[in-house]
Amino acid sequence: QLQLQESGPGLVKPSETLSLTCIVSGGSFSSTRYYWGWLRQPPGKGLEWIGTIYYSGTTYYNVSLKGRLTISVDTSKNQFSLRLSSVSAADTAVYYCARHSRGAASLEAFDIWGQGTMVTVSS
């Protein structure tokens, strides 16, 4: 069955760039039926949608992060990536990648999630 797996450094210094990759396995990454998203959850807090990408490269960003955020896709490797620049302690969180469907809503609910990866911003 479809699986998503996040990877990347667990520790990033303030003002530097956070980079994560999500590898999609067990299913069709380039399907026209799905979008691929990033979300995060600070320790002990709720969930925040970061942004989403379609296999063609079309992106949808949370405006609160838009100036620092880049999401890209590599269909040859069945993966998509997140880059968040100028990080601070406020960016410390568990980062999840997830799939959502393309349907009646522009972006549907998130139906399959990765296990998440903890990223700490600290010097």
Partner 1 sequence: EIVLTQSPGTLSLSPGERATLSCRASQSVSSNFLAWYQQKPGQAPRLLIHDASSRATGIPDRFSGSGSGTDFTLIISRLEPEDFAVYYCQQYATSPLTFGPGTKVDIK
Helix (H) or strand (E) holding 38: strand 34-41
Instruction: Provide, rounded to whole angstroms, the least separation between the CB of residue 49 and partner 1.
Output: 4
Query: Would you count residue 120 as binding partner 1 (CB under 8 A)?
Result: no
47 vs 75, 91, 94, 95, 96, CA distance in Å?
27, 13, 9, 10, 10
Query: Would you count residue 115 as binding partner 1 (CB under 8 A)?
Result: yes
Instruction: Provide, rounded to whole angstroms, the least separation between the CB of residue 123 and partner 1.
Output: 27
List the one residue from 29, 38, 49, 55 that touches partner 1 (CB under 8 A): 49
List the one residue from 46, 57, 82, 83 that touches partner 1 (CB under 8 A): 46
Phi and psi for 44 in degrees, rounded to 5? Answer: 70, 10
List the one residue from 3, 25, 64, 72 that touches partner 1 (CB under 8 A): 64
User: From CA 70, how far away is CA 84, in angstroms rounded?
Assistant: 7
Query: Would you count residue 8 as binding partner 1 (CB under 8 A)?
Result: no
User: From CA 50, how far away is CA 66, in angstroms rounded?
Assistant: 9
Query: Would you count residue 16 as binding partner 1 (CB under 8 A)?
Result: no
Query: Would you count residue 25 as binding partner 1 (CB under 8 A)?
Result: no
Query: Would you count residue 47 as binding partner 1 (CB under 8 A)?
Result: yes
Q: List residues binding partner 1 (CB under 8 A).
A: 46-49, 60, 62-64, 96, 98, 100, 104-111, 113-116
